[in-house]
Homo-oligomer: A and B are copies of this chain.
């Protein structure tokens, strides 16, 4: 089962599983996922439902042997606007998935966590065993809680859990994040671009294809009860440099206006670079540069303008 299989990452996971010969159940409420991202395949069963519907989830979990739990409220930037959303969609929903698995006898789960769990780490690149972080957003808090549920179930109920702490991802089917925001703003007004913060935030990004390959490598090669991996690029990119790439690719010359401050929003970590020694030691490495990923993302957005949200 792929929860959030209609989403950016989940749909690529579904693609990969089908390519490996698996039968796949996609469970998605399409609150942010998109029907057109779900692979069309005889071996794929699509369930349109909410993870908060435990009964439906229990029913659909029967016969499942591995869960990729990718469904989440992934909107870190606006997490303070609806503080309960992350609790329900990221903590309670994860608990529901684990309970459904327990009832159905499914015991293996891969989970999309986030590099944001490190808060504003003083150590860069940040390793998996960095100092106990202070959480700076309800979003990251909810992911830490979901991680803890997985590890508790691993110890208490003999689950096997793969926890992946991602940097921001880029690539086809990308529908939110700073590249999307800049693209949308520039489509509406190519003469002016508002940048949150001072443009100096510097973060690592990873192509979604590289990310899925990393997950599959980890699942293939590590079999302990609890595995935690940072997934990111060895490189990172300043917002200002990102703007340059986007402006060039879109062939526009906007005036750049900064909202100011070190952070793009409350709880933003201005510098994100993860130590990926643990995953690279398994033989994986990124195949695409961050610049290539940004350009490819823009090409996707240009080719699929319908992904633009109406809000």
A residues adjacent to B (C-beta < 8 A): 79-80, 83-84, 87, 91-92, 95, 98-99, 117-118, 128-138, 140-142, 144-145, 147-149, 151-152, 155-157, 226, 228, 266-267
A132-B133, A141-B148 given. 8 additional CB < 8 A pairs?
A91-B91, A91-B145, A129-B131, A135-B148, A137-B155, A140-B148, A144-B144, A156-B267
A137's nearest neighbour on chain B, judged by CB, is B152
Contact A80-B152, Cβ < 8 Å, known A95-B87, A129-B132? yes
Contacting residues, chain B, for A149 (C-beta < 8 A): 138, 141
Closest CB in chain B relative to A166 CB, distance in Å: 16
Contacting residues, chain B, for A148 (C-beta < 8 A): 135, 138, 140-142, 144-145
Contacting residues, chain B, for A129 (C-beta < 8 A): 131-132
Q: In whole angstroms, how far apart are the Cα atoms of A267 and B225 in the complex?
A: 14
Q: What are 6 of the A-B contact pairs (CB < 8 Å)?
A: A131-B131, A134-B151, A136-B155, A137-B152, A152-B267, A156-B266
Q: In whole angstroms, how far apart are the Cα atoms of A147 and B156 in the complex?
A: 23
Contacting residues, chain B, for A142 (C-beta < 8 A): 145, 148
Partner of A135 from the list B83, B135, B152 (CB cut-off 8 Å) is B152
Contacting residues, chain B, for A84 (C-beta < 8 A): 95, 99
Contacting residues, chain B, for A134 (C-beta < 8 A): 151, 226, 228
Q: In whole angstroms, how far apart are the Cα atoms of A100 and B155 in the complex?
A: 35
Q: In whole angstroms, how far apart are the Cα atoms of A148 and B175 in the complex?
A: 27
Closest CB in chain B relative to A159 CB, distance in Å: 12
Closest CB in chain B relative to A57 CB, distance in Å: 14
Are B141 and A145 in contact, CB atoms less than 8 angstroms apart? yes
Contacting residues, chain B, for A132 (C-beta < 8 A): 117-118, 128-133
A96's nearest neighbour on chain B, judged by CB, is B84
